[in-house]
């Protein structure tokens, strides 16, 4: 009887742990890093708990903030770091972060840096320390990374133009039927190309392009993607005046709930197995 009771108890515990693993939500963390952008994707995995990735790393001063935040989430290793394009406010923290946290893979859009190498030594460091790292690989449209029930598809760029923002990686994150479109610094030109090539459709959550600048989230674009909620990564009282009042009005006129890191702090979206989700913030 004692042996049978032990087996029954062990079975209940096993089912409990399995249920907890299966019910773990997809977690998306959009960090308040000031000028720039940084987002953590925690994809639930039934075997190891979570597979963790980072999309952009903010400016150089953001590295410690990101590392400290990772520690609060008990993240000691990153499966991937995705760098959307080589503007300083998106890649500046990479040099410090690669020294602070173990990272398996590093990706960017393969932007041509030759014209910038003479202007800023940071790009030379980037070419030497990131592009020549054996973990590095350039991405283009149609690349797809999948982990359990989560898929991250690269929608853009199909080819590179002269404008770095236009060339930003555009990502579609899918978890069951939940969809999040991550525009990074992509602008209205990128939006028009995505529409013309039928690369986008309705999503649940939109990560607004170019920090909510006037040249992002056009009416035509919003008519296609139809987001319920949108998140803008932006610095408080920034020099550029982001986000633009016009962009905010377009989002609101489309019935979109808007969250901003300058006002809401760190923003966390949690997506359950049934694809329902909630958005919380630290301010």
What is the 3 state secondary structure string of 208-254? CHHHHCCCCCCHHHHHHHCCCEEEECCCCCCCCCCCCHHHHHHHHHC
192 in a structural domain: yes
10 in a structural domain: no
17 in a structural domain: no
Residue 256 belongs to what domain range?
Answer: 24-281
248 in a structural domain: yes
SS3 273: coil
18 in a structural domain: no
Cβ 155 vs Cβ 199: under 8 Å: yes
204 in a structural domain: yes
Strands 205-207 and 178-182: parallel
Domain tally, the chain: 1
Instruction: Collect the ranges in the chain with pLDDT lower than 70.
Output: 1-23
| CATH number, residue 199 | 3.60.15.10
Q: Please provide the DSSP assignment of 17-65 as one string.
A: HHHHHHHPPEEEEE---SSS-EEEEEEEETTTEEEEEEEEE-STTHHHH
User: For position 13, what pLDDT does the model report?
Assistant: 41
206 in a structural domain: yes
Question: How far is the C-alpha of 16 from the C-alpha of 140, rounded, in Å?
Answer: 41
- Angle subtended at Cα 29 by Cα 27 and Cα 31, rounded to the nearest 5 degrees: 175
User: For position 22, what pLDDT does the model report?
Assistant: 54
Compute the residue count for the chain.
283
155 in a structural domain: yes
């Amino acid at each position: 009887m004692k042996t049978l009771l032990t087996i029954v108890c062990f079975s209940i515990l096993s089912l409990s742990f399995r249920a907890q693993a299966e019910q773990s939500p997809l977690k998306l963390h959009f960090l308040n890093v000031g000028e720039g952008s940084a987002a953590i994707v925690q994809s639930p995995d039934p075997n190891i708990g979570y597979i963790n990735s980072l999309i952009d790393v903010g400016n150089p001063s953001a590295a410690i903030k990101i590392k400290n935040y990772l520690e609060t989430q008990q993240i000691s290793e990153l499966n991937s770091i995705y760098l959307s394009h080589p503007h300083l406010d998106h890649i500046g923290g990479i040099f410090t972060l690669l020294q602070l946290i173990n990272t398996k893979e590093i990706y960017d859009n393969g932007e041509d840096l030759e014209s910038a190498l003479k202007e800023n030594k940071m790009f030379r460091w980037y070419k030497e320390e990131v592009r020549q790292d054996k973990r590095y690989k350039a991405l283009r449209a149609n690349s797809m990374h999948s982990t359990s029930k989560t898929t991250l598809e690269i929608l853009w760029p199909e080819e590179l133009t002269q404008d770095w923002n236009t060339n930003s990686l555009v990502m579609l994150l899918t978890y069951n039927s939940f969809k999040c479109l991550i525009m990074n610094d992509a602008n209205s030109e990128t939006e028009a190309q995505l529409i013309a090539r039928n690369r986008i459709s309705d999503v649940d959550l939109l990560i607004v392009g170019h920090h909510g600048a006037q040249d992002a989230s056009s009416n035509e674009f919003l008519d296609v993607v139809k987001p319920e909620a949108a998140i803008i990564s932006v610095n408080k009282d920034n020099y550029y005046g982001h986000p633009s009042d016009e962009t905010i009005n377009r989002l609101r006129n489309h019935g979109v709930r808007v969250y901003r890191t300058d006002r809401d702090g760190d923003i966390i979206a949690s997506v359950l197995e049934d694809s329902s989700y909630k958005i919380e913030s630290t301010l």
